[in-house]
Amino acid sequence: MKLTIPAFVGRIAFSALAALIGAIFALPLLWFLFAPFNARAELGLALPDPWTLSNFVTVFGNSYAVQALWNSFIQAVGGVILVGAAATLAAYALSRSSIPGKGAVTYILLLFSSVVSGSAAMVPIFLIISAAGLMDTHLAVILTFAGGLLPTAMFILRDFIDSIPKSYEESAMVAGASPVQAFFDVALPVIRPGIVVVVVWGFVNIWGSFLIPFILLRSDSNMPASVAIYSFYSEAGTPIVTLLAAYSLIYSLPVIALYLFVSWKFGFRFFGGIKA
């Protein structure tokens, strides 16, 4: 098909505009990829010359920064295990039992969940954690996130479990399995893709959070990476760009790895679309 000249010019203008917009979004990402390997990185975008790993060497030499990554890991994994296990059991019960008003329970919890992990609840959370004597512990962060993420996790999983026929467990029970056996042998493997979604989502949430650990933790040795990033500032408050860039890249790797692993292993089809 031949294009008329005005249409041709229009196409070119549109493509140029699209390319420009794309570039605006791509530039920070490029910086994010280049700067960690540049020993003289600044806030401007520049190709590393030469490419070097010296920034990473400095970061790994900083025991506080390394400890913080480990802390992030403990808090995220701990929170995810708690949320995953509790949400699976709760959602299963809500989906399969015939408790009257179970729908309302989920919705009310969901409503409050945005409050619990939000900044509005910071003071009560602080007071509760403090009264429980959990101040400055990993457990404080884990419990707070578990409470905040659980309702949404339950909601996602209940939807997922609702779409799985009851006849799976029923046939298992008729065949001689106890309800617990039927759950572990038949229901759990079928629900697993839903649990994976919740776990990834929970991990990303906790891994990236700043406010809650910042408030609930005191000592440097307990701080997660999201807070530790703030140690890469000079006394005067200007960022040490080289270290910041390298640390940011390391900090984002687990999340990227997690996504890749899940999409390789399970394929990412979000909430409603997940079928066993």
Partner 1 sequence: MASVEFKNVTKSFGEFTAVSDVSFDIADGEFVCLLGPSGCGKTTSLRMMAGLETPTSGHILIGGQEVTHLHPKDRNIAMVFQDYALYPHMNLADNIAYPLKVRGEPVAQRHARAKQVADVLKIGHLMDRLPSQISGGQQQRTSLARALVYPAKVYLFDEPLSNLDAKLRLEARGFLNHLQRDMGMTAVYVTHDQAEAMALATRIAVMDQGHIVQFASPIEIYRRPATTFVANFVGNPPMNLVEVEGAQVEGKLALKAEGLAIAALAMTDAIGKALAASGKLTLGVRPEHLGIAQTGATNTITAPLFANENMGPESLVTIDRGDSARVTARIFTDDHLDLSKVVTLRFSTEHVHLFDSTGKRIPALGE
Site residues (vs partner 1, CB under 8 A): 165, 167-168, 170-178, 181, 185-186, 189-190, 276
CB of 223 to partner 1, least distance (A): 41
Of 60 and 266, the one with the shorter C-beta distance to partner 1 is 266
What letter represents residue 55's amino acid?
A: N
Q: How far is the CB of 171 from partner 1 (least distance, A)?
A: 4
Nearer to partner 1, 121 or 164 (CB): 164
Q: Give yes or no for a contact between 123 and 215, defined as CB atoms under 8 angstroms apart.
A: no
Rounded alpha-carbon distances, angstroms, from residue 217 to 98, 118, 134: 42, 17, 9
Q: For partner 1, give the closer residue by CB, 6 or 100.
A: 100
Shortest distance in whole angstroms from residue 161 CB to partner 1: 14
Taking the least distance from each CB to partner 1, the nearer of 124 and 179 is: 179
Q: Tell me how far, at minimum, the Cβ of 185 lies from partner 1, in Å.
A: 7
Nearest distance, CB of residue 168 and partner 1, angstroms: 5
Instruction: Between 133 and 165, name the residue whose CB sits nearer to partner 1.
Output: 165
3-state secondary structure 56-124: HHHHHHCHHHHHHHHHHHHHHHHHHHHHHHHHHHHHHHHHHCCCCCHHHHHHHHHHHHHHHCCHHHHHH
Length of the chain: 276
Amino acid 11 reads: R
Q: What's the DSSP call for residue 164?
A: S
Does residue 124 contact residue 85 with C-beta atoms inside 8 Å? no
**88 in Cβ contact with 74 (< 8 Å):** no
> Rounded to the nearest whole angstrom, what is the least distance from the CB of residue 138 to partner 1 in the complex?
34
Is the CB of 42 or the CB of 162 nearer to partner 1? 162
Pair 78, 70: CB distance under 8 Å: no
What minimum distance in Å lies between the beta carbon of 103 and partner 1?
A: 16
**Closest to 148 (Cα-Cα) out of 94, 216, 97, 93:** 216
Nearer Cβ to partner 1, position 173 or 255? 173
Residue with tokens 């203008």: 13
